[in-house]
Amino acid sequence: MPAERTLHVADSTVIVFPDAAAASRAAADRIARVVAEAVPARGKAILGLATGATPERVYDDLAARVKAGSLSFRDVVSYNLDEYYPIQPLDPLSYRYYMHRNLFSRVDLAPNRAHVLDGTVPESAAADHAAEFDRWIEADGGLDVQLLGIGRNGHIGFNEPSELSPAEFAALPTRMVDLHPITKADAVREFGSAEAVIPRALTMGVRQILAARSIIMLATGPKKAPVVTQALKGPITASLPASLLRTVADKVVWLLDEPAAAELG
Ligand code: PGA
């Protein structure tokens, strides 16, 4: 199998792997390395985690390392990017449940250190809850690494395309959002029908994502090729949220499989 290849697209580092399994393994390697470096240096590692189809293999890989004894989450604190609103944690469609199924139940991470925005807070308390989420991350010293996926509309977390200026967009805090039509269309896969899709969510803000000490963008499959190309080569604009990653390009790595990289040229 051919080896990975590294591209420099303007200031961005892009590593292209032969397939999604290899790209996912590279993401897991990087997360394991962050844990191995942060825990001795600061006593804990602060991980920003993502949901969706793409990171499932990363969590399989991390869980396998824990089982084999080469990695521990004992000194890890995690913060997830987003959660539908409203939703109960035991709803199989909730991201809390996704994280339980794919990672939390399989590793030695203390439940009170695994933070997922709470889809059950009363609406009148949602803004306070979101602000508190940012304060918790900051009190923990900020994210050592944020794992990201990219939506077909370029969203990161549920920071959806916007008409704000790039500077205004980059300053957005954790908050309640309305989901974009493309996000809702893609969520039909999980929810079963367009009517069943929960149209709102709580999302970590762009500010917190861009403040992470390192960022791993993992994108696989041919459906992501157009948006990956636009994000890396088009204008830096809030109408394509992932393009803002280029404002902090020195701490971002794009891990792609060949199909997702197919239009980079
Ligand atoms: P996916 O979602 O991994 O299910 O494609 C990515 C995203 O929307 O961020």
DSSP 241: G
Which residue range forms the structural domain that includes residue 178?
5-257
User: CA nearest 48: which of 141, 122, 165?
Assistant: 141
CA 155 to chain centre: 10
Domain assignment of residue 100, yes or no: yes
Domain assignment of residue 11, yes or no: yes
Q: Provide the whole-model pTM.
A: 0.98
Domain assignment of residue 228, yes or no: yes
User: CA nearest 246: which of 255, 257, 235, 256?
Assistant: 235
CA distance 192 to 91: 14
The predicted structure's pLDDT at residue 265: 86
Domain assignment of residue 116, yes or no: yes
Question: What's the gap in Å between 199 CA and the centre of ligand 1?
Answer: 16
How far separated are the first and last CA of the chain, in Å rounded? 21
CB atoms near residue 112 (< 10 Å): 7
CA distance 240 to 232: 10
Domain assignment of residue 77, yes or no: yes
Please give the chain's pLDDT, 265 residues, in tens: 569 999 999 999 999 999 999 999 999 999 999 999 999 999 999 999 999 999 999 999 999 999 999 999 999 999 999 999 999 999 999 999 999 999 999 999 999 999 999 999 999 999 999 999 999 999 999 999 999 999 999 999 999 999 999 999 999 999 999 999 999 999 999 999 999 999 999 999 999 999 999 999 999 999 999 999 999 999 999 999 999 999 999 999 999 999 999 999 8
Spell out the alpha helix ranges (H) of 44-180.
Answer: 56-68, 95-102, 126-139, 166-170
Domain assignment of residue 55, yes or no: yes
- How many residues are given for the chain? 265
Kindly report the CATH number assigned to the domain that includes residue 136: 3.40.50.1360
State the closest ligand 1 atom to the C-alpha of 221, by its place in the atom list counted from 1: 5
CA distance 88 to 172: 26
Based on the residue annotation, tell me whether 257 is a catalytic residue of this protein. no
**What is the total count of domains within the chain?**
1
Spatial contact of 164 and 171, defined as CB atoms under 8 Å apart:
no
Q: How are the residues of the chain apportioned to helix, strand and coil, as percentages rounded to the nearest 5?
A: 45, 20, 35
CA distance 207 to 169: 8
Residues 6 or more apart in contact with residue 225 via CB below 8 angstroms: 259, 260, 261, 262, 263
Ligand 1: residue of 102, 182, 186, 206 to mutate (most ligand atoms within 8 A of CB) is: 186
Domain assignment of residue 198, yes or no: yes
Domain assignment of residue 178, yes or no: yes
